[in-house]
Structure 1
Amino acid sequence: MLKFILRRIGASALVLLGASLLMFFLTINSGDPLKDLRESNVQNKQQLMDQRSALLRLDDSPWERYWDWLSGVGGCFTGNCDLGVTINGVDVLGLTQQAATSTLRLITVATLLAIVVGIALGILTAIRQYSGFDYSITFSAFLFFSLPVFWAATLLKEFAAIQYNNWIAVGQYAPWTIVIVAILAGFLLQAVLGGTTRRRLITAAATFAFVTVMLFVFNALDWWRNPMFGIAGVLVVSAAAGVLVAALVVGLRNRRALYAALTTAVVGTVAYVAFAPMLVNDPSWLLLAVLFVVAIVVSVAIGAAWGGYARKQVMLVTGITGLITSIMVVADILIAHWASFLSIKSRPISTIGSQTPNFTGGFWEQVLDMGTQILLPTILLTLVSVATHSRYTRSSMLETLNQDYVRTARSKGLSEREVIVKHAFRNALIPITTIVAFDFAALIGGAVITEQVFGWKGMGALFQDGLNAVDPAPVMAFFLVTGVAAVLMNLVADIAYAALDPRIRR
C-alpha cells in the first residue's frame, strides 16, 4: 500500500508541475498589465509604468519569472513561503490565507453534505426502482443539475433570505401554510416508505396530523424566535440515531450493538451535562476540537467493550453514534443562542459576504453568524452536487444489485439489509469515489461564480482580480490552493479504490 501511495503522490506532483507551467504562461500572455497606465493622462505615467514593470519583472524572461515563483513555492516546505506580491504591492500569501479559508470552508461543507445526501438518495432510489419516489428524485436531480447557478442564487436570495427575514420578524406560520406544509410532508413520507395503498394512506394521514399539531404548538410557544431543544431532545435524537445505525450496520438482532449504541447516547448526554458550563460560556475552537476527539475515542471504546464477536462492526456503530451525539450537542447549544443572535442581528440570513462586518456577540453568536452567511451558497452548491451523486449512486447500485454474487447472497437466505449493506454497497462505492473527487474540483470552479453572486471574498475573487489585471501572482495562488485540493481529492479517491478493492493496488 505504501508503494501504491508513493507512486500516486509522484504522479500528482508531476501533474501539478505541468499544470502550473501552463497556467503561468497563459496568464502572462492573456493581456497587457500596463494597459490602464498607457491610457492614463497623469503626468508621472512613465514613472508609474516603470515601477509596475519592475514590480512584475516584465523585463525578465517568462522562464525566469516562473522559476522565481516556483522557488518561492518550494520555500513553503521549509517555512519560507513566498508567493510574491500583487500588482499593487500587497503580499499574496496573506491574501491567499484569507481567501482559502473562506472558499475551502464553503467547499468542504457543501461536499460533505452532497456526499451524504446524494449517496443516501441514490441507494433509496435504486432499492425503490421505478416507484413514485424514484421518479420524483430523478426529476429533481435533472432539474437541479440543469439550473443556472446565477439564477438559482437569485431565487435563494429572494425566498430563503429576504422573504425569510421578513417572516422571522414575526415568526408565526399562517394556518393555511401549516396545512400545505403538512400535506407535502405526508405526501413525501408515504412516497419514501411506500407499501400498499392502505399503508400509504395511513402514513400520509399520521404524518399530516403530527406535522399540523407540532407546527401549531411551535406557533403557540413562539418557538421559531425562542427555540428550545434541551437535554431530553439530545438524548432522544441520539438514541434514535444509534438504533438506526445499529439496524443498518449489524441489524437489531445483535443486541450488543444495540446496547452499545444506546450506551453511547446516554454517556454523550451525561457528558454534555457535565461539560455544559465549559461549552456554553464562550469556549474556544481548540476546546471543541479536543472534546470532539475525546467523544469519538470514548464512543469507540464503548463499542470495543460491548463488541463481542462483532467488535469491529459494533465499534463502527458506536463511533457513528458518538459523532451524531456530538453534532446534536452543538445543535442544542446553537438553538439555545438563537434568540440572543436575533437580538443582535434582526435579519439573520445575509445575501452578501462571508461574515457580518463589526459583528458583536459571543462565541456561539459568531458561529451562528458564520453559519447563516454560509447557508445560501452551501445550499446552492449542494443541490447541484446532490443531483450528480444521486444519479451515479443509483446507477452503480442497480448494476451491483444485478450481479451474480448478490443473487447468491439472497439465495442463501440473507436479509435484504445484509445483502445491500455488506455485499452491494461497498462494491457500488468504487465508481462513486471517482465522481466525488471530480465533483470536488468542479465545485471549486463553480464556487468562483457562486462567490461572485454572494459577494464572498474567496479564491474566486482573488483569481478574477488577478486575471483582470494580468497579474500572475494571485492567479497562481488560486491555482496552488485549488489545484492542490483537487489533486489531493483524486489521491484520496485512489487510496479509497485500493481500500475498497485490494486488486487495484497491484
Structure 2
Amino acid sequence: MLRFILRRFGSSLLVMLGASLLMYVLVINSGDPLADLRESTSSNREQLIAQRTKSLGLDLPWYQRYWTWLTGVSKCVIGACDFGLNRQGLHVNDLLGLAVSSTMRLVIIATVLAIFIGIAVGIITAIRQYSGLDYAVTFLTFLFFSLPVFWAAVLLKEYLAIGFNNWIANPTYPLLATLIIAVVLGIVAQAVLGGNAKRRLLTFGATLGFVVLVLQILAWTNFARTPRVGPAVVLLLAAATAVGATVLLAGLHNRRVLYAGLISAGLSLPIYYATHGLLLEPNWTLLLLLGLSTIVVGIIIGQLVGGFSKRVASTVAAITAFVSGLIILVDKVLVYYWPVYLGRISRPIGTIGSETPNFSGTFWEEFIDKGTQLLLPTILLTLISIASYSRYTRGSMLEVSKQDYIRTARAKGLSERQVIIKHAFRNSLIPITTIMAFDFAGLIGGAVITERVFGWKGMGDLFSQALTAVDPNPVMAFFVVTGASAIFFNLVADILYAVLDPRIRV
C-alpha cells in the first residue's frame, strides 16, 4: 500500500508540473494585460504601462516568468508558499487565503448535506424500486440536476430570502397554508414509509394531525421570533436519536446497544445545565473540544454497556452524544441570540455577500449573520449535488442487490436491515466514493456561477476575475489549490477502496 501511495503521488506531481506549464502559457496568451491602460487618456499612461510591465514581468520571456512562479510555489514543500503579486500589487497568498476560507465554508456544508441526503434518498428509492416514490424522486432529482444555476438562484432570492424576510417581521400561520403544508408532508411520509392502504392512510392522518398541531403551537408561542426549546425537548430529541441510530445500526432487539444510546441521551440533561455558561460566549477551540468530548463519552458508555456488541454500542452512543450536543448548542443560540439578532437586522436572510457589511457583535451574533448569508448558496449547491449522489447510490444498490451473496444473506435468515446496511450498502459504496472524491475536489475550486450570483468572494470569483484581467498569478494559485485537492481526494478514494473491499489490496 505504501509503495502504491508513493507511486501515485510521484506520478501526480509530474502531471501537475506538466499541467501547470500548459496552464501558465494559456493564461498569459489569453489576452492583453495592458489593454485597459492602452485605451486610457491619462497623462501618466506611459508610466502606468511601464509599472505594470515591470510588476508582471511582461518584458521577460515566458519561460523565465514561469520559472520565477515555479520557484515561489516550490517553497510550499517547506511551508513557505509564494504565489507572487497580482496586477494591483497585492500578495496572492493573502487573496488565496480569504478565497479558500470563504469557499470552504460554502463547500463543506453543501457537500456533507448532499452526501447524506443523496445517499439516504438513493437507498430508499432502490428499496422501493418502480414505486410511486421512486418515480417522483427520479423526476425531482433530474429536475434539480438540470436547473440553470442563475435561474434557481433568482427564485431562491425571491421566494426564500425576500419572502421569509417579509414574513418574519410579523410571522403568521394562515389555516390554508397550514393545511397545504400538512397535506404535502403527509403525502411524502406515507410514500416513504409505504405499506398497505390501511398503513398508508394511518401514516398520512398521523402526519397531518402532527404537523397542524406543531404549527399551531409555533404560532401560539411566536416561535419564529422568540424560540423556546428547553431541556425537556432536548431530552426527547436525544432519546429519539438513540432509538433511530439503534434501529439503523443494530435493531431494537439488541438491548445492550439501545441502553447505551439511551444512557448517552439521558446525559444530555445534566450537560444542558453544566455547559450553560460555557456556551454563552465560546470560541471555536472550545466548541471543538466539547464536540470531541461528547464523542469520547459516547464511546466509553458503549464500551461499558455494550457487552458483546461494544463496537456498535459505542457508535450509537457516540452519535447520540454528538447529536445531543448539537441540539443543546442550537437551543442556546436560538433562545439567547436569535431575538437579539432580529432586533439588529430586521431582514436576516441575505442575498449578496458572505456577511453583512460592517456588522460586529458577539461570537454567536456573528455566527448567525454568516450562517444566514450562507443559507441560499448552500441550498442551491445541495439541491444540484443531491441528484448525482441519489442516482449513483440507487444504481449501485440495485446492481449489488442482484449478486449471489445478497441472496445467500437472505437465505441465512438475516433481517432486511442487516442485508441492506451490512452487505448491500457497504459494497455499493465503492463507486459512490469515486463520485465523492471528484465532487469535493471540484467544489473546492469554487462554484463560479453560484459565487457570481450571490456576490460570494471565493475561489470561483478569484479565478474568473484574474482570468478576465489576464493576471496569471491568481489563476495559477487557483490551479495549484484545485489540482492538489483533486490529487489528495483521489488518493483518499483509492485508500478507501481498500478499506471497503479488502480484495482490492491485492
| 1:422-437 pair list within 5 angstroms | 422-437=422-437
| 1:393-432 pair list within 5 angstroms | 393-432=393-432
- Contact map agreement 2:242 2:258 (CA 8 A) in 1: yes
Q: Secondary structure at the match of 1:355?
A: coil
Deviation at 1:445, TM superposition (A): 5.4
| 1:189-200 pair list within 5 angstroms | 189-200=189-200
Distance in 1 (alpha carbons) for counterparts of 2:425 and 2:31: 51
Residue 358 of structure 1 aligns with an amino acid whose one-letter code is: N
Residue identity (%): 56
- Contact map agreement 1:4 1:505 (CA 8 A) in 2: no
Q: 1:322 corresponds to which residue?
A: 321
Q: Secondary structure at the match of 2:352?
A: coil
Q: 2:460 corresponds to which residue?
A: 460
Runs of 5+ consecutive residues of structure 1 not aligned to the other structure: none
| 1:372-387 pair list within 5 angstroms | 372-387=372-387
- Contact map agreement 2:242 2:265 (CA 8 A) in 1: yes
Kindly provide the CA deviation profile for residues 129-158 of structure 1, in whole angstroms up to 9, marking residues without a partner as x.
Answer: 111111111110000000000000000000
Q: 2:100 corresponds to which residue?
A: 100
Q: Secondary structure at the match of 1:335?
A: helix
Scaled by the length of structure 2, the TM-score of the pair is: 0.97
Deviation at 1:482, TM superposition (A): 2.2
Kindly provide the CA deviation profile for residues 441-479 of structure 1, in whole angstroms up to 9, marking residues without a partner as x.
Answer: 443456111000000111112111211111101111111
Q: 2:285 corresponds to which residue?
A: 286
Residue 109 of structure 1 aligns with an amino acid whose one-letter code is: I
Residue 500 of structure 2 aligns with an amino acid whose one-letter code is: L
Kindly provide the CA deviation profile for residues 391-443 of structure 1, in whole angstroms up to 9, marking residues without a partner as x.
Answer: 11000001111111000100111100111111111001011111111222443
Q: How large is the RMSD of aligned CA atoms in angstroms?
A: 1.4
Distance in 2 (alpha carbons) for counterparts of 1:156 and 1:486: 30
Tell me: CA distance 1:373–1:235, structure 2 relative to 1, closer, same or farther (3 Å): same
Residue 23, structure 1, aligned to residue 23, structure 2 = yes
| 1:203-352 pair list within 5 angstroms | 203-280=203-280, 282-336=281-335, 337-352=337-352
Distance in 1 (alpha carbons) for counterparts of 2:316 and 2:64: 56
Kindly provide the CA deviation profile for residues 38-91 of structure 1, in whole angstroms up to 9, marking residues without a partner as x.
Answer: 122222222211111110111222222222212212223324321111101011
Tell me: CA distance 1:269–1:479, structure 2 relative to 1, closer, same or farther (3 Å): farther
- Contact map agreement 1:118 1:388 (CA 8 A) in 2: yes
- Contact map agreement 1:269 1:325 (CA 8 A) in 2: no
Distance in 2 (alpha carbons) for counterparts of 1:79 and 1:128: 51
Tell me: CA distance 1:19–1:242, structure 2 relative to 1, closer, same or farther (3 Å): farther
Q: Secondary structure at the match of 1:24?
A: helix
- Contact map agreement 1:186 1:205 (CA 8 A) in 2: yes
Distance in 1 (alpha carbons) for counterparts of 2:238 and 2:12: 41
- Contact map agreement 1:268 1:295 (CA 8 A) in 2: no
Deviation at 1:231, TM superposition (A): 1.7
Deviation at 1:487, TM superposition (A): 2.4
- Structure 1 window deviating more from structure 2 (142-151 vs 9-18): it is 9-18
Kindly provide the CA deviation profile for residues 198-231 of structure 1, in whole angstroms up to 9, marking residues without a partner as x.
Answer: 1111111111111111111211111111111122
Q: Secondary structure at the match of 1:347?
A: coil
Q: Secondary structure at the match of 2:258?
A: helix
| 1:127-138 pair list within 5 angstroms | 127-138=127-138
- Contact map agreement 2:118 2:389 (CA 8 A) in 1: yes
Q: Secondary structure at the match of 1:304?
A: helix
Count of equivalent residues: 505
Residue 293 of structure 1 aligns with an amino acid whose one-letter code is: L
Residue 161 of structure 1 aligns with an amino acid whose one-letter code is: A
Distance in 1 (alpha carbons) for counterparts of 2:111 and 2:489: 11
Residue 85, structure 1, aligned to residue 85, structure 2 = yes
Tell me: CA distance 1:78–1:444, structure 2 relative to 1, closer, same or farther (3 Å): closer
Scaled by the length of structure 1, the TM-score of the pair is: 0.97
Residue 372 of structure 1 aligns with an amino acid whose one-letter code is: T
Residue 380 of structure 2 aligns with an amino acid whose one-letter code is: L
- Contact map agreement 1:99 1:457 (CA 8 A) in 2: yes
- Contact map agreement 1:149 1:449 (CA 8 A) in 2: yes
Distance in 2 (alpha carbons) for counterparts of 1:168 and 1:85: 45
Q: Secondary structure at the match of 2:447?
A: helix
Kindly provide the CA deviation profile for residues 234-254 of structure 1, in whole angstroms up to 9, marking residues without a partner as x.
Answer: 221121111111111111121
Tell me: CA distance 1:305–1:216, structure 2 relative to 1, closer, same or farther (3 Å): same
Deviation at 1:261, TM superposition (A): 0.8
